[in-house]
Structure 1
Amino acid sequence: MKKNGYLLSLLLLVVAAPLALAQFPGGPGGPPRSGDGNGRPSRAADPAPTNFEMTTPKGNSKITGYVVDSSLTQAVEYATIALVDLATSKPIDGTVADEKGKFSLTRVPEGTYRLLITFIGYHDKVLGPIKIEKGKDLDVGVVKLSVNEIQLEAVTVTGEKPLIEEKVDRLVYNAEKDMTSQGGDAADILRKVPMLSVDLDGNVSLRGTSNVRVLINNKPSTIVASSIADALRMIPADLIKSVEVITSPSAKYDAEGSGGIINIITKKSTLQGLTLSLDTGVGLRGSNLGLNGSYRKGKLGITLGGNGRAFYNKAFVTLDQTTLQEGTSVLTRQTADAFDNGLFGRYNLGFDYDLGKNQSITAGVNFGKRNFSRDQDFTTNIFRNNVLSGTSYRNVDSRDLSNSVDFNLDYLRTYKPGQEWSVSTLYSVSNLTNNFDADILSEGGSLSSRQRNINGNLNQEVTLQTDYVHPIGKRQQLEVGVKGIFRQVNSDFEYQTAGPTGLFASDVTNPSGFLNYSQNIGAGYLSYTYATANKYTFKLGSRYEYTSISAYDQNADIAIPAYANLVPSLNISKSLSQSSTIKLAYNKRIQRPGLQQLNPNFNAANTQNINIGNPSLRPELTDNLELSLSTNFKKTYLNVSLFGRQTNNGITRIAMPSDTLLGAIVTTWENIGQEQAVGANVFGNVYLTSKWTLNGGVDIFYNYLEGLQQDLSGLSVPVSNAGWVVGGRLQSQLQLPNGWGIQAFGGYRGNRVQLQGSQSGMGMYSLGFRKEFNNKKGSLGLAAENFFGGMKMQSTLTSPLFTQVSVNNIYNQNIKATFSYKIGKMSFVEKKRTKSVRNDDVKSGGEAN
């Protein structure tokens, strides 16, 4: 290992010495620069000048010393040391510090010199003049380098991150720069991210498909597997640092998520010392409180924090549906007043520890809590052949409760830059309760009977994973890994009834039931990257996954065959210039059913619009193709993407009239669909001035769906639907003097195509102000959302057996005041690299059953 360290030191000396020497005053080439001269970041820095001659030392003296971090008193490994003749300003020797920060220059001749010590992320240090006498050694002692506040980003060298960045394989939305985010939840953030759409219920889609995988800090969570919408409500916006959108994942990612991967990165401390931050907000529609602390000393870092959010919202829903049942036309007209209350929290405890200079472990416990209730008062009129046959009144109190715990323990071993081995483990468990209590009233308003649905769910996962990355020369890299996921889903449900008074008893007309569902996945992958001298980069790989399933309910075993999938991926990029890159990507993806799509509970909170899962669902398969061009010109960044998507065996929502309830529609999930989409995304960001940015984009695609539905004779017949979908967003941010700032946002999601109908578009807009004070340690803000009125969304479904039109009016105007403050003594340190489990393999089920 020590031999490898010195070989690496020699390599770094050859590469880094010209860079370091070029920075020395009077040295050749002058200071290095990044960019094209117009304030734009360059794709790759130009090679440093090498037009100098290094003379060979012929003396017998030696210069030694140690290089350490000024704030941490720890070694700066591989710092570059250059010895420069004071009279000629020419370098005569150089070396690189070892893993302990120690350096040594031998055979130094008599003379007067300067020492230049450099390392990425630190200010340069110049020692001198240094006078060397013949035959005498010099120990310069401990040389402290101070951290440079300008950090090296993936593509740019900048003192402050922009709102939106594009990296090699993903787009990054830096939510911490969003002034209007405080007091909201993750769904409010995702609505502003390019290529993403979020509906009123918090269901996410990427380029028109909801088949996406959402990760939190590169890790899955069982609450996300159960329902993405519920998980987004649980995560406070104040906790989110950035959102990464990965449209073409490589083989190292799980094959799940046909549309791509959304990775939500929460705020983590990279500070040394003790810190404490408070974030709070009070609004007409919701309030939030967050308190987070961290302690970092030497090799140990500890974080502890919690964020909570409470909200309420009103809605008014109308439903008109006509069904053909038993040869009779049945018209259902329904209205419902709804009042939602929610209390969500997320709490975490984590630590990381350096076992040695090349080894580290991290561990964490995350606890999430969701308490969501909806009170609805239904009035339903039933017409038979246009004649009113009955009116019913139903008051429903629904409870959607859950708690989730995620525990991870990870180990990382780094052999040399680019070569590392990691072992990651994860245990995740969620307990979910989806109950409702209903009071059935007579036309006179008196209580006639009561109904109750008890539905408890347990979802738990154990994941073991190991990955190895190995560089081959300067232009190649090999990645290999294996992974096992062991998943268990259990659901128990029961209906109970009672009279106006008395105890509840089991409903004999609707027997209780359960589902035990076990899923084991074994996977392995191999990925290879090759970069050519003419600026082509090829990344190709393949992933093999084998899935076995055992399931049974109260009646019998459910036969679901095991299946195996070979999932290839290919990413090609070409740098056309320092400011332009073109990319071509292909990948195959799998989408497994989620808990709410499997859950067989017959949810009849609304007896005219019923949901039920299907435990026999199989995965769907998708092929994705993408071509994109990104470029910088003057002060503008532009990205244009063309994409195509083909999905087979699609998990599709299908509706049909009920066999037993007059005028009711039952919605379930089936593997009957095929979907094709072809479209484009255009996104741009322009600096109108150094303090004023404007960014926005347009998404447009043509969507075609086909599947099966029942005809008048009860047979399954083909059905298809197609149409254009258009959406877009526009956002502007202005930094004003004296710590003031203003931000405005507007976005629209166009009409959506469904297999049996369509869903109307929706718009969101917000305006926020913020004042920072006390050297940016504190801030006060005021933000407003949808302040001209609420939102309205209409959904239309049609088939030979029914038509349904539902209109949802959401009164979500909101004004909120926010306050944040940070205290503590802190100093920036390099963030430790960690590896953790990524489970990207479960489809969201949308609304909970």
Structure 2
Amino acid sequence: MIKKFLFLLLTLGLWSGLTQIRTTYAQFGPPGGGPGGPPGMGGQDDRRKKTEFTGTAEETPKGNGKVTGLLVDSTSGKPVEFATIALMNVKTNKPIDGTTSDAKGNFSLAKLAPGEYRLQYSFIGYKNKDSKAFIIEKGTVLAMGSVKLPADVRTLGEVTVTGQAALIEEKVDRLVFNADKDMTSKGGDASDVLKRVPMLSVDLDGNVSLRGSQNIRVLINNKPSTIVAASVADALKQIPADMIKSVEVITSPSAKYDAEGAAGIINIVTKKNTLHGLTLNVDAGVGLRASNLGLNGSYRQGKLGISLGGFGRAMYNRASSTLEQTTLVGGQPIRTSQQATAFDKPLFGQYTLGFDYDLAKNQSLTANIRYGTRNFVQQQSQLTSTFSYDSLLSMTNRDVNRKDLSNSVDMNLDYVRTFKPQQEWSISTQYSRTGLVNNFYADILGQTGELTARQRNLNNNTNQEMTLQTDYQTPIGTKQLLEFGGKAIMRQVDSHYQYQVGGSTGELVFDPTNPSGSLMYNQNIGAGYISYTYVTSNKYTFKVGTRYEHTGISAKANETTKLAIPNYGNLVPSINVSKSLKGGSTLKAAYNRRIQRPGLQQLNPNPNAANPQNISVGNPTLSPELTDNVEVSMSSTIKKTYLNAAIFGRLTNNAITQIRLPSDSLTSGFPAGSIITTYQNIGVQRTVGANVFFNTNITAKWSVNGGLDGYYMYMQGLTQGTDGKSVTISNSGVSIGGRLMSQLQLDKGWSAQVFSFFRGPNPQLQGTMGSFYMYSLGVRKDLASKRGSIGLAAENFLGNGITMRTNLNSPLLSQVNVNHLYNSNVKVTFTYRIGKMSFEETRRKARSVSNDDVKGEGGDAGGQPQAAPAANRPKP
């Protein structure tokens, strides 16, 4: 049925495109259109397409007059190509003709009838400019000479900002949070920024959820990284908040994107220098629980651009937890009580080097290298008491040193060739490799503090992938866009682990009850897609497409044991429809199917027993889950307030679900009463929800924004019953979250911001994860000429941190876990920019690889923008 519907839509769209409904200039405005429009259809990137004036607001009288001229940049003197020139009737102030400048900045308007006119010049990145009125008589040939267009500095947020830019923008296929307008997250990392983004929530461990689902894909500048594939939470801690320009949330990705990410795609866009010259930015911060230092430089001259950056962050946090649990082992209840304290000392670093070069006027080459490092060291003390009925079985005190270390390298080389405006072909390549070390070293102490035993776990993993991708797009007329392409991903996971134990002497030997193990996991993906966009004359936008992905898997455990994991293929359709309504409102509807492949840690068979009461182990035989998504949303602007509301639904089969089972020491090698957490494809999830958010400007200098998110989730799966057989269990619940932020611009360069966030209890298959909240307050003072700033921010400064309570229940276990994070913080931030800069027109970048296909742990994508409704496009 879906295939027939897609075929019908494509057929109707192509037929309508061939009929070419001729639309008036007064309806659609000049080329360049409104923000969010597709290339070739009046979108923001459609700055190079000439306009065919087939009809106007008033009939254009014909004559033999002519006007010529040359458009140049007022600063550099370079020609401004493909800018819009509108011929305006002085009496009616309406456009009656128009054209665009050519590749050398020249323009010409011919066959002009006698009359009084003026010209209006416009182009993205420049201020609109009007000529003086002039008179055309019969046979007049008027040369306007060189017309200098001044740069619109308001579009360069890193140079001079006049007024307040919108913190939240909604485009046809995504929501954009402009993070560079958020001052309280400075000195933090990407997880601090994502807490402020509508529809997203971030838990205490840094795991990100979109509308209640952690099945998302996180991209950085439209590109994946193997460190993200290993752990989204870890990757976010490596990205400095000061370098994030915006966060894009795509809840209904088109066929162009990889089919992964059941709930959607999050694309983190870092700041890019579009200036000309040599610059150096310094970002520093000192706080009670974190300090950071970043240096970023760039050089741009002629056809070559070079950027070099480095960032480091040190953190120091305390945390404590209590655990009360009861498990049934062999039909007997085992009660466990544990108190733990921890001190975290993580270090994060990121270093980047990038080049871009214009091979020719219509060809460009881009290369980037990124190196990231993570050194997470935790010292933990665990006091555990185990009881059978009311009798004390054992009491142990463990001093644990955990080391989660990683280093990642991402290299990409991208080429793009433009044949004509918005007709282009690109080739993108990427190599990514991450090395992961997850070790712990534990001393088991007696009641008087003497060493009684020692334990050590060594776990080394390598995750690497190679990607080759090619894409082609071409406009069909003025209201259609066709895109298609192919992609190949070769991915390899190599994991090795071993345990060592020792007695009271401390000498370590290999543990015979927990033998060494390994996993070799190869995954090869081939994909192809086609996507078609059509904008109708009555303000509808249709974007339909389909994508097919074939996944081949070969895996071995312990070097020789082959794992029977079947290959699979998936057809992934997508439909996006938007309609512009009266009063500037927009209505959107979407359907898509997504797949979710298991992530590295979900596959890793190494039992992680740093805390022997909560042991985690992956499952290398996991298969992907499939999700069908539907959503309807509406946005509108009422005076100074922007409102957006959406309802959505998700149905997931074969869901990858966390399952917790009690350990039996006779069979598992772990203490009786401990809990083993693993993953299985045994779940069904049904989710319905809604979200609403607003952004209002109370005055020109005072803005407030916020929103509420809520959903109802039903889950069903299998677990072990009291008789040892599998039983079906289910759970359901409602979760509500929200955020509120206010920004105030004061005199003499001062500004202030307050932010608050909360997330209610979150239902899980075997219980409920607890609620938590956070808040912050920040002030900032801009330095002279806005070359830098000094800021002061405080987080969770009332009380003594955050407490989160989690309850788990099943036929064999009952657990209450209370975590307390001492995250009160005060920090001072400092930024400064050195160097001379001048405006340079935006350069077309080569497309880059975007692997949106691996499930994150703990649970532009920036792609092609869609057509903007005609009513929202600017008029000349």
* CA deviation after TM superposition for structure 1 residue 124, in Å: 5.3
Residue 591 in 1 paired to residue 601 in 2? no
CA offsets 1:5-47 (integer angstroms, 9 cap, x no match):
xxxxxxx9x96999799xxxxxxxxxx999xxxxxxx99xxx9
* Code of the aligned partner of 2:247: V
Deviation, 1:764, is 0.7
Structure 2 equivalent of residue 575 of structure 1 = 580
How many Å separate the matches in 2 of 1:90 and 1:741? 41
Give the CA deviation at 1:415: 2.4
The whole-number CA distance in structure 2 between the counterparts of 1:179 and 1:454 is 41
For residues 485-510 of structure 1, the C-alpha deviation after alignment (integer angstroms, 9 at most, x for no partner) is 11000100011123444653222221
Q: Which residue of 1 aligns with 2:804?
A: 793
State the 1:456 CA deviation: 0.4
Q: 1:432 aligns with which of 433, 436, 460?
A: 436
Choose from 851, 858, 866 the match for 1:846. Answer: 858
Q: Which residue is equivalent to 1:215?
A: 219
Matches within 5 A, 1:354-369: 354-369=358-373
Whichever residue aligns with residue 795 of structure 1, its letter is T
1:808 matched residue in structure 2: 819
Rounded Cα–Cα distance in structure 2 between residues aligned with 1:622 and 1:344: 35
State the Cα distance separating 1:394 from its structure 2 match.
Answer: 0.8
1:819 aligned residue: 830
2:570 is aligned with 1:565: yes
CA distance in 2, matches of 1:350, 1:761: 42
Q: Which range moves more in the overlay, 321-330 or 601-610?
A: 321-330
Report the alpha carbon displacement of residue 773 of structure 1 after superposing the two structures with TM: 2.1
2:784 is aligned with 1:779: no
Deviation string 1:667-703 (CA, Å, 9 cap, x unpaired) is 1000011101111101111111111111111111111
* 2:64 partner amino acid: P
Which residue of the other structure, out of 650, 653, 656, is the alignment partner of 1:648? Answer: 653
Q: 1:505 aligns with which of 488, 503, 509?
A: 509
Partner SS state of residue 57, structure 1: strand
After TM superposition, the score normalised by the length of structure 1 is 0.90
Q: Give runs of aligned pairs for residues 272-311 of structure 1, distance below 5 A.
A: 272-311=276-315
Deviation at 1:126?
A: 6.7
**Counterpart contact for 2:59–2:96, Cα < 8 Å:** no
Offset at residue 236 of structure 1 (A): 1.3
Q: Answer yes or no: is 1:680 the counterpart of 2:684.
A: no
Q: Does 1:736 align with 2:746?
A: yes
TM superposition shift of 1:235: 1.1
Deviation at 1:390, TM superposition (A): 1.5
Kept in 2: contact 1:56–1:93 (CA 8 A): no
Query: 1:582 touches 1:630 (CA, 8 Å); kept in 2?
Result: yes
Match of 2:413 among 406, 409, 413: 409
Following superposition, the deviation at residue 462 of structure 1 comes to 0.6
1:75 aligns with 79
Going from structure 1 to structure 2, the CA distance change for 1:375 and 1:145 (only over 3 Å counts) comes to: same
Is 2:671 the partner of 1:659? no
Contact kept, 8 Å, 2:26 with 2:57, in 1: the verdict is no
Q: Partner of 1:545 in structure 2?
A: 549
Q: Which residue of 2 aligns with 1:57?
A: 64
CA distance in 1, matches of 2:521, 2:342: 34
After superposing the two structures, state which structure 1 stretch, 359-368 or 132-141, moved more: 132-141
1:384-422 Cα shifts (integer Å, max 9, x gaps): 121112211111000000011111111112223332221
Paired position in structure 2 for 1:28: none
Cα distance between partner residues in 2 of 1:528 and 1:86: 41
**SS of 1:56 mapped into structure 2:** strand
Deviations along 1:601-624, one digit per CA (max 9) or x if unpaired, are 011111111010000000000011
Counting aligned pairs with the same residue, the percent is: 60
CA distance in 1, matches of 2:790, 2:145: 48
Find the residue that maps to 1:248 and give its secondary structure.
coil
Match of 2:773 in 1: 763
Question: 2: distance between equivalents of 1:243 and 1:89?
Answer: 40
Distance in 2 (CA, whole Å) between partners of 1:341 and 1:817 is 20
Question: Which residue identity lines up with residue 359 of structure 1 in the other structure?
Answer: Q
Q: Greater shift after overlay, 472-481 or 140-149?
A: 140-149
The corresponding residue for 1:39 is: none
Query: Displacement of 1:114 after TM fit?
Result: 7.9
Q: Distance in 1 between matches of 2:83 and 2:238?
A: 44
> In structure 2, do the counterparts of structure 1 residues 112 and 720 end up closer, same or farther at CA, with 3 Å as the change threshold?
closer
Mapping for residues 302-381 of structure 1, pairs under 5 Å: 302-381=306-385
Deviations 1:776-817 (A, max 9, x none): 211111111011120011111111111111111111000001
232-241 or 749-758: bigger deviation: 232-241
Shift of 1:51: 3.7
Q: Tell me the amino acid that sits aligned with residue 745 of structure 2.
A: Q
Shift of 1:96: 4.2
Deviation per CA, 1:419-453: give whole Å up to 9, x if none: 22211111111001001111111121011222110
CA offset digits 1:608-665 (Å, max 9, x no partner): 1101000000000001110111111111111111111110000000011112221111
Unaligned ranges ≥5, structure 1: 1-11, 22-31, 35-41
Q: How far apart are residue 517 of structure 1 and its match?
A: 0.2
Please state how far the C-alpha of 1:710 moved relative to its aligned partner. Answer: 0.3
Identify the residue that residue 710 of structure 1 maps to in structure 2. Answer: 720
Write the mapping of 1:504-523 to structure 2, written as runs, cut at 5 A: 504-523=508-527
Structure 1 letter corresponding to 2:858 = G
CA distance in 1, matches of 2:672, 2:344: 28
In the TM superposition, residue 130 of structure 1 has moved relative to its aligned partner by 9.6
Shift of 1:572: 1.1
In 2, distance between residues paired with 1:528 and 1:675? 31
Return the offset for 1:159: 6.3
Structure 1 residues 74, 795: CA separation in 2 closer, same or farther (over 3 Å shift)? Answer: same
Distance in 2 between residues matched to 1:780 and 1:686, nearest whole Å? 27
1:606 counterpart SS class: coil
Q: CA 1:91 to 1:348, structure 2 compared with 1: closer, same or farther past 3 Å?
A: closer
Aligned amino acid, residue 401 of structure 1: L
Partner of 2:613: 608
Q: Kindly tell me the number of residue pairs found equivalent between the two proteins.
A: 811
CA distance, structure 2, for counterparts of residue 107 and residue 694 of structure 1: 52
Answer yes or no: is the 8 Å Cα contact 2:528–2:548 preserved in 1.
Answer: yes
The one-letter code matched in structure 2 to 1:580 is: S
Cα distance in 2 for residues equivalent to 1:162 and 1:89: 30
Decide whether aligned partners of structure 1 residues 423 and 15 sit closer, same or farther in structure 2, where only a CA change above 3 A counts.
farther
Deviations 1:109-151 (A, max 9, x none): 9999987655443345677899999999998765443223344
Letter aligned with residue 80 of structure 2: V
CA displacement 1:302-322 (0-9 Å, x = unmatched): 111111111111111111111
In structure 1, what residue type is equivalent to 2:617?
Answer: I
How far is the alpha carbon of 1:479 from its aligned partner?
Answer: 1.1
Structure 1 pair 671–118 and aligned structure 2 pair: CA distance change class (3 A)? closer
Structure-1 separation of matches of 2:770 and 2:626: 27
For residue 535 of structure 1, report the CA deviation from its aligned partner.
Answer: 1.1
SS of the counterpart of 1:78?
Answer: coil
* 2:392 aligned with 1:388: yes
| TM-aligned CA distance change 1:614 to 1:635, over 3 Å | same
Aligned-partner SS, 1:511? coil
Separation in 2 of the partners of 1:386 and 1:819? 58
- Give the match for residue 489 of structure 2: 485
Question: How far apart, in 2, do the equivalents of 1:91 and 1:688 lie?
Answer: 35
Among 629, 637, 645, which residue is 2:634 paired with? 629
Instruction: Say if 1:287 and 1:88 are closer, same or farther in 2 by CA, change over 3 A.
Output: closer
Partners of 2:533 and 2:851 lie apart in 1 by: 23
Report which stretch shifted further, 749-758 or 233-242.
233-242
- In the alignment, residue 849 of structure 2 is paired with which amino acid? V
Q: Is the 8 A contact 1:56 1:92 kept in 2?
A: no
Q: TM-score, normalised by structure 2?
A: 0.87
**Partner letter of residue 325 of structure 1?**
V
1:689-708 mapped onto 2 (5 Å cutoff): 689-708=699-718
Q: Which amino acid aligns with 1:846?
A: G
Give 2:759's aligned amino acid. R
Whole-angstrom distance in 2 between the partners of 1:17 and 1:744: 42
Amino acid at match of 1:695: N
1:597 aligns to what SS in structure 2? helix
